[in-house]
Amino acid sequence: MDSTRRERATLALAVWGVLVSQVLLYPGVSDLVTALGGGRGEYDLSAGMLFLVAEFASFVAFSSVWGALSDALGRRTWLIVAGALGGAASYVALLALATLPWLDATFGAVLAVRLVGGAMTIGAFSLSITMLADLSGGNGRNMGAAGIAIGLGAALGSVVGGQLTTIDPLAPLYASAASLTAVALLVTTVTDRTPDSTRVGVGVVLKKLAARPAFAVPYAFGFIDRMTAGFFALVGVYYFREAFGVDAAVAGGVLALFFVPFALLQYPLGSLSDRVGRFVPVVAGSMLYGVAIVAVGVAPAFELAAALMVVVGVFGALVAPATMALVTDLADSGERGAALGGFNVFGSLGFLAGFLIGGVVADAVGYLPSFLVVGFAEVAIAIVALRAVKRLDGIDAGQTPSSAD
């Protein structure tokens, strides 16, 4: 295995480990929140929403900071290590809070720890993807590797997290801390290939990004795509557990039905976008993805709804790597850290929107309307941005972004 392939595999494993640590908590989030002193019942959606929102609020605030900082310093590896170890420490802190005798009064502290943990974890996640983008071999291929890692990490995390929750609601926290510690150790073996041209000031990089409106296209798709993921991570889990009466282990298995095809098809479909362009995967894929989400919400039986989660995963795999590759198509090598950091800011905002919009709509008017809102949002962005994607389609990775605007 040549050095590029080895480092692609290593960085993909790092992305995978971060996603495992994150998703381990999702299937049993209602049980975990209760064990940490929050929630007013088994299916208190608002408490679970706050628990997840706290982490992603920090993702939003710090994603571009890590990316721009790495571009300015000309280093990524040790920033990833610091982020991963900081995230692991946050899970240990949650375990410590769970032992306090005044547990009912500590949920505010739990949310504060989630804020700090999110600020650290997003550094490990965002910069691992950025280092993948720094590699040669095709943006679609590199982003496909990231997508496989994300999907498989989420798939394993959802299955194992659900099983661990049935043993002890706090057990996923131990596993998450161990996963991030392993990521920190793994990344130390990767050569820091950050291009010399990235050594520019943070303010200069952010100003350049703000001046290039073409980035708004993949950022908008990233926002909506991640909104659907956030929706399933929170509302989807509560929906399957409450509507069909399944436990955390089964709910985790249902999430895996989405994440496994999403993961396994990322690399081939990312490579496909290198050959056929970004337009069809992004636009047609988004429309089909949105319709499939709505279909899950209207399915009358558990078996059908679970089977449709597979379909959702297939169409999600068509969209995700092509969208990330479009970001790297538009960016100079010296701007990739900040460009992908900005993409992750919008993605994290999308997760927040999925938690908040999905949770509020589900609480107010029921689960079906929440599926309709999120699914048709995916269709709407494809229709609205159709011409913009067509205009940007076919940009070579080496072309200057200014020529695409």
Residue that is last in its domain, among 188, 215, 230: 188
The pLDDT value recorded for residue 15 is 93
The pLDDT value recorded for residue 403 is 43
Both 215 and 322 in a single domain?
Answer: yes
Angle between helices 45-73 and 202-210 (to 10 degrees): 110
Q: Do the domain assignments include residue 402? A: no
Answer whether 128's CB lies under 8 Å from 14's CB. yes
Both 372 and 236 in a single domain?
Answer: yes
Both 338 and 226 in a single domain?
Answer: yes
CATH number at residue 347: 1.20.1250.20
137 backbone φψ class: left, alpha, beta (φ>0; ψ -120 to 50): left
The pLDDT value recorded for residue 102 is 65
* Nearest residue to 305 (alpha-carbon basis) of 242, 373, 230: 242
* Nearest residue to 345 (alpha-carbon basis) of 15, 48, 58, 76: 58
How far, CA to CA in Å, does 149 sit from each of 11, 55, 120, 188?
9, 20, 19, 18
pLDDT at 395 over 60: no
Residue that is last in its domain, among 161, 188, 215: 188
What would the pLDDT profile of 324-359 be if each residue is shown by its tens digit? 888 888 877 666 766 776 777 787 788 889 999 998
What would the pLDDT profile of 256-296 be if each residue is shown by its tens digit? 898 888 878 877 888 888 888 888 899 999 999 999 999 99
What would the pLDDT profile of 373-388 be if each residue is shown by its tens digit? 999 999 999 999 888 8
Structure tokens at 14: 């790092």
Residue that is last in its domain, among 154, 188, 222: 188
Give the span between the Cα atoms of 154 and 14, in whole angstroms. Answer: 13
What would the pLDDT profile of 13-60 be if each residue is shown by its tens digit? 999 999 999 999 999 998 899 888 876 666 678 888 889 999 988 888
Q: Do the domain assignments include residue 265? A: yes
Per-residue pLDDT, averaged over 73-100, amounts to 92
Q: In this structure, what DSSP letter does residue 201 have?
A: -
Both 222 and 117 in a single domain?
Answer: no
Both 183 and 133 in a single domain?
Answer: yes
What would the pLDDT profile of 173-215 be if each residue is shown by its tens digit? 999 999 999 999 999 998 886 654 444 444 544 565 566 778 8
Answer whether 33's CB lies under 8 Å from 47's CB. yes
Both 233 and 362 in a single domain?
Answer: yes
Helix (H, G, I), strand (E, B) or coil at 366: coil
Look at 129-138, 144-153, 204-213, 366-375 and tell me which has the smallest mean pLDDT.
204-213
321 vs 401, more confident: 321
pLDDT bracket for residue 400 (50, 70, 90):
very low
Both 180 and 225 in a single domain?
Answer: no
Degrees, nearest 5: CA angle 61-66-69 = 125
Answer whether 322's CB lies under 8 Å from 270's CB. yes
pLDDT bracket for residue 160 (50, 70, 90):
very high
Give the span between the Cα atoms of 13 and 10, in whole angstroms. Answer: 5
Helix (H, G, I), strand (E, B) or coil at 374: helix
The pLDDT value recorded for residue 402 is 44
Q: What percent of the chain has pLDDT over 90?
A: 39
Both 172 and 25 in a single domain?
Answer: yes
pLDDT at 146 over 90: no
pTM higher than 0.85: no
What would the pLDDT profile of 293-312 be if each residue is shown by its tens digit? 999 999 999 999 999 999 99
User: How many residues are present in the chain?
Assistant: 405
Both 215 and 83 in a single domain?
Answer: no
pLDDT at 233 over 60: yes
Q: What's phi and psi for 198, nearest 5 deg?
A: -80, -10
The pLDDT value recorded for residue 205 is 41
Q: In this structure, what DSSP letter does residue 55 have?
A: H
Instruction: State the residue range of the domain holding 83.
Output: 1-188
Answer whether 324's CB lies under 8 Å from 199's CB. no
Give the span between the Cα atoms of 364 and 237, in whole angstroms. Answer: 17
The pLDDT value recorded for residue 137 is 61
What letter represents residue 305's amino acid?
A
In DSSP notation, 130-184 reads HHHHHSSS-HHHHHHHHHHHHHHHHHHHHHHHHHHHHH-TTHHHHHHHHHHHHHH
pLDDT at 115 over 60: yes
Helix (H, G, I), strand (E, B) or coil at 326: helix
The pLDDT value recorded for residue 394 is 58
Q: What percent of the chain has pLDDT over 70?
A: 87
Structure tokens at 201: 């000031």
pLDDT bracket for residue 405 (50, 70, 90):
very low
- Domain count for the chain, please give it: 2
Q: Do the domain assignments include residue 193? A: no
Both 57 and 175 in a single domain?
Answer: yes
Give the span between the Cα atoms of 315 and 337, in whole angstroms. Answer: 27
Residue 73: exposure state from Cβ atoms within 10 A (0-12, 13-18, ≥19): middle
Both 226 and 100 in a single domain?
Answer: no
Q: Do the domain assignments include residue 299? A: yes
Helix (H) or strand (E) holding 200: none
Structure tokens at 245: 């009466």
